[in-house]
Structure formats: structure tokens, C-alpha cells
Chains A and B, each alone.
Chain A
Amino acid sequence: MSQTLRIGGAIGAGLRKALEDDPKVLLMGEDVGKLGGVFRVTDGLQKDFGEDRIFDTPLAESGIVGTAIGLAIRGYRPVCEIQFNGFVYPAFDQIVSQLAKMHYRSQGTVPLPVVVRIPCGGGIGAVEHHSESPEAYFAHTPGLKVVSVSNSQDAYWMIQQAIASDDPVIFFEPLRRYQEKGEVDVSMADAPPLHSARVERPGDDVTVVAWGSMMKVAHDSATAAAEDGRSLEVINLRTLSPLDMAPVFASVRRTGRLVVVHEAPSHVGIAAEISARVTQECFYSLESPVLRVTGYDTPYPAARLEEDYLPDLDRVLDAVDRTFTY
């Protein structure tokens, strides 16, 4: 059975399903109740599941994650909403020192099935602290799992899989794509594992790896490149920790060229990790260095400049061209 849902709506539908399936699932965050979240992802859920399970929190992000940890110790499966990407930092200690390490410290006796949902990336003309891509901070932290959704189907599947996970999951949502529509198969039967990358468009000349809101840019680039007679293979990474490198290795062994696209700054970003691993595993297949198309190593700029900051179709195609110059 399939239906058309916006990405935000698909996450909401997945949350609804998880709430129905498991009475221990809770949603907590700022404005998630009556308002349904500033992006309306939790719209209608409090009305249907009650204030005990879907509850507005005080405006204190460390408190959101810290109390979620306590609720998880108690046996609940809390899903925290962080309202905007740049607002997650007050919760940083609770995420990287407490949430990520509790299972390890407890010698495996205290799993923390907590999901932290974070709208990720820019492109909506927002004021500062609303457009950041903090995924590398969390992917760098052992004990956390990190995923990034980019379309309605994945959103529906992956939010449920994240909630079902007994490990803490940082769940990135593509802020500027919330309104984009897609077909959603509401059965879980065909859902690939949560931590798997997917080849979304086969190609022969250059591999392009992206995730989250950059998937649209990657696909548009492949379409444009095809008009120029160049065949791009587009891989949706989907999972940032752990990485699923096998499809990337297989692809690069065929194409010999790799461009990695992300919104976050390049320095010590996830593209650097992918580049290192591809260099190690596919060294003799590479026809060119791995190239990165990313945000710049600056703070996220003022809204009127963000189009110049964010990777777009032209910058991706430029990088694709450059892989042929070595």
C-alpha cells in the first residue's frame, strides 16, 4: 500500500506507527505538542496519543536529552526533537558524554534507545544558527549511530527503525526538503537495513556520494551530466555512523572517480573520512583524487549569501569535470 507524503509528513506517519506499535515510545521537545513542532512533523500526535506521551518540554536542550536518558533508563524509548540544528549544542555533553557512553560504561547492561531528531542544513533563508550541518560532531563519537534521511520513503522507514534500535540514534532531517513529496510504501517489508547506503542512480563515469538535502543536488547533477554525455552513479549514503562503504567501494572500483557532496564545512568533515577509506580500499582503481564539494570552512553565512555557500548543481558538475583532469 502506498501513499503520497511530504518528507515531514512521512516522518510524522512513521512516528505515529511507532507510537501505535510500542507504548514505551515517547515524543518530547519544544513545541511538539499542540503546535505539532515548528515544522509540523508531530502534528496531531498529542491529540491522538495524549500529553503523557507527546509532551512539550521547557526550553532547555540539555534537559531534553538528559531527561530522555533518565526515561530510557526507566524503560522508555524517547524521541527527542531538537528544534533547529544550531540548538543542539547546549545538549552536547548529554549526547556525547552521557548518551553515547552509558552502554559502554555499564558493560553492556544499560542500553539507551533514545532518538534525537535534528532538522539539518540550510537553504531556507533563516537567521543564524538555523542552517547548520553538525553531523560530523556526532559521527565522530563512538556509541552514537547517525543517519540522514532525504526522501519520504526513507523518512517513514528510517524513523521507525531508529526508534526500534537499542542504540542511541541521531536522526538528521533535511530541513529545506520537509515539504517535498514522495511515494511511501507504508509496509516495512521492503525497508533496507537502517545502516545501509543505496545506489539510487546507476552510472559508469563518476561516483557521486551525498546524503540528506544534498541528494536532490546530486540527482539533478546526474541528470544534467547525462545531457552532456556523462554518466554519474549516485549513492545515497543514508547512514553516517556506521558508514556503509561497501556500495561506495564497489562503485568506485568501476568508475575510478569519486565526488563527495555535503553541506557541512570540508575540514574534518565526513567526506574526508570517505576519502580516506576509498583511498585505502580502492587505491589502484582511482583515476583521480577523491574530490569534495562542501560548504566552506567559515561560519554559516548570512542568508543572502547562502546560495553561494551551499553546494549546488554547478559546483558538483565542476568537480565532476575536474576528476577528468588528472
Chain B
Amino acid sequence: MVNGDQNSTGPKKKAPAKRRKSASTPAADPDMVQLLTPEGRRVSHPDYDVSMTDDEYRALYRDMVIVRRLDTEGTALQRQGQLGIWASLQGQEAAQIGSGRALQQQDMVFPTYREHGVLWTKGIDPIMPFGLFRGVDLGGWDSRAFKFQMYTIVIGAQSLHATGYAMGITKDGKVGGDDGEAVIAYFGDGASSQGDVNESFVYASVYNAPVVFFCQNNQYAISEPVIRQARVPLFKRADGFGFPGVRVDGNDVLATYAVTKTAMDNARHGNGPSFIEAFTYRMGAHTTTDDPTRYRDSGEVEQWQAKDPIERMRTFLRDDEIADADWLESVDAEANDHALSLRERVISMPDPQPAAIFDNVYHEGSQLVDSERAEFSKYHASFEGSDHR
């Protein structure tokens, strides 16, 4: 199990003979799009809806279970010294899977360093970002080939790249139609304060660029609560920049899917940018170097635990008889297999050759770098026969 089947719907389940359909009542908070309550009940929204087959519902659940399991493995690998650091997505699975699955093949993603779930939905081998966290490379890949830009560490810097890329789509005449292209830029509540993010709003707005700003408001920028970033709900900021903003329950995979799909389709049809605030919670630490008990209390974490994105989907699948216990178990088993495979492959990632330091500094090469590479080799060769490395 390496990298084949992210797009499958997983183990097939026989269609149930009869089904109890969830009642379709309006959601509680009119300011937040929700289609699936924390209790696993389907609710309706006047502007957004999804109509999915059972296979599709199950696929979303399966995605979330697998990316959570892979993420747990990331944390474990760090604890065991196999990674230098890991940035956990736990709690944000619905925001990432819902938005990621709403993208079309031709859409381009500009992630932060936490979008392991979105990466999974693009059909990319989940091991790809592990080079960065293990320190064997700088997280590099051909972003154009994968339609998924490299992880960006400087907070919010990628929002401008996303906007520029989207401006290029317009210049290429690739907007306006179902096959139009669109871009999604991910960032967090902390990044919403960055100049680059605000500049990207300005650029996207004045050039009507086909870009969707997807902000996962996970409530914390390391230790700083979101009140340290904004005194208004983040989605309301979009108003001032001249494009629509919407808040969605970020722990509701159906709602994030619906909202993202609408926004991306608007962009690809030439209707310009929009802003999505996915209201969610970072269940784990900022990264493995962080200790969240220093700045938030367990009561808060428990409250959010009750809104868990996977639990509510599981309840929905079970109550609506879309999946039975056997199927749910088989997904857990499958996720475990993915995690084990990932673990083995991460542990066996080779260290790069030391001279790789000098590779790819310039596309057209550099005499300076070449001469330093030669000196480096000569220096190391002078130890030949000794155990100096």
C-alpha cells in the first residue's frame, strides 16, 4: 500500500435495504454554514447544499480517517526521533478533506505546512512532505506537475504566489466555463494579520483573480488566540476588500465541501475571488515542539472534542445506514495499513549526499557554487581512509 488508491471509495458496502433519512432542519448559527451538526444530524442551509451518493459520503469519511491516522504517525515518528518536527492537522480533517475534494483536477493549491489532508485529496503520495520534516530535503517538488505548491513556512507568503498564479490564469484566458481553472490559497487565523495576506486580498480583488482564500481558523497561532489577530469575525474582513466572505463549520466535511465548491466554481467562471473562514480547532499542538497546556485549558479542548469532524460523520453514516460497523472497521484497518507503510518508508528515507548542498542553487549554474563544491569534495577527500565524514 503505497500511493495508489487515494481516490477510491475504499471497501465497498452493499446498499442497505432501507434507510432513515436525517431530518432537514435549518442549522443553529445563521452566520456559519453547517450541513452536519456535531451530533451527526444533517441540517439545511438556504445557500449551500450537497447531494452525494453513499459512495461519496463514505469516501469523505475514509479520507478523514486515513489522514488523521497518517498524521498520528507523523507525530509518533517525531517522538521517536525519526522526524525533526511535525505539524499536526488533527481536528482540521473536515476543513482539509472537504475543501480538497471540492477541487477539480485543473485547480492549483497553495498550502501552508499543515495541509497534509489537502495533499492527500490531490492524489499525492503522503510521504512527499516528510522529506521536509525529516530534514532530508527542503520539502521540494515540482508544484506544477502536482498542481500543489510546495509547503510554505513563512506565514502567509504563499497567498501572494497563489494570487499571482491566479492572475496568470486570467491572462491565459482560462476562466469562464466549467473547465476554467481556479486557485485555492490556504492559510490560518494568524496569517490573516500578515501584510502579504492582506496585499493578496487587494491584488486578487482589483484584478478579479480566480482565487479562493481558505482560512482555517483553528483558534490559535501557536499560543495566541484569534482575538489577538482580529476584533471582527475573520470572514467579515472580505467585505472591505470587495469580495464575498463566508464562515463555514470547519469540522463539517459536507459544509466545507459545499462552500468550497461554490467558491471555486465562482472563481473558475470568472466571478472573482472569495474568502472562506473554516471555523475549526487545532486539537493538537502547533507543532511537536509546542506545549498547548501552557495557554489553553482542557475544558476548551473537551468542548471541541465533542465537535470532532470524524465522529459526527461516523454517526451520520451509521444512523443513516450508509455504513455499517464492518465497513467502519475496515476503514480503520486500511488507515492502519497506510500508516505502517508510511512509517516504513519514512524510516528508510536515505540521508542526502553531502554534496547535495550545492545542487540547484541556480537554474543556470554558478561558478562560485561550483568552486565551493569542488573545494568541499577536495577537503572531504583529504580524509580518505579515515573515519571522518
Contacts and interface: CB of A to CB of B under 8 A. Distances in A.
Interface of A: 26, 52, 57-58, 60, 62-63, 65-76, 78, 90, 93-94, 97-98, 101-111, 142-143, 145, 165-167, 242-243
B111 to A, nearest CB: 14
A63 B167 CA distance: 12
Nearest to A97: B154
A163 to B, nearest CB: 13
Size category of the B interface is 35 or more
A108 B363 contact: yes
B202 A60 contact: yes
Contacts of B366: 242
Given A58-B202, A106-B141, A71 B360 contact: no
B362 interface: yes
A142 B163 CA distance: 26
A72 B141 CA distance: 16
A89 to B, nearest CB: 12
Contact of B199 (A60, A72, A110): A60
A74 B362 contact: no
Contacts of A62: 160, 195-196, 199
B161 A98 contact: yes
Given A63-B202, A143-B361, A242-B367, A74 B140 contact: no
Nearest to B138: A105
A277 to B, nearest CB: 10
Contacts, number: 141
**Candidate in B138, B149, B160 with the most chain A CB atoms within 10 angstroms:** B160
A167 B364 CA distance: 7
B203 A105 contact: no
Contacts of B221: none
A52 B162 CA distance: 18
Contacts of A98: 152, 154, 157, 161
Interface string B122-149: 0000000000000001111111110001
B208 to A, nearest CB: 13
Nearest to A194: B364
Contact of B200 (A63, A105, A110, A167): A63
Contact of A73 (B137, B138, B161, B195): B161
10 contacts: A58-B206, A63-B163, A66-B159, A66-B161, A70-B161, A70-B168, A93-B154, A106-B140, A106-B150, A243-B368
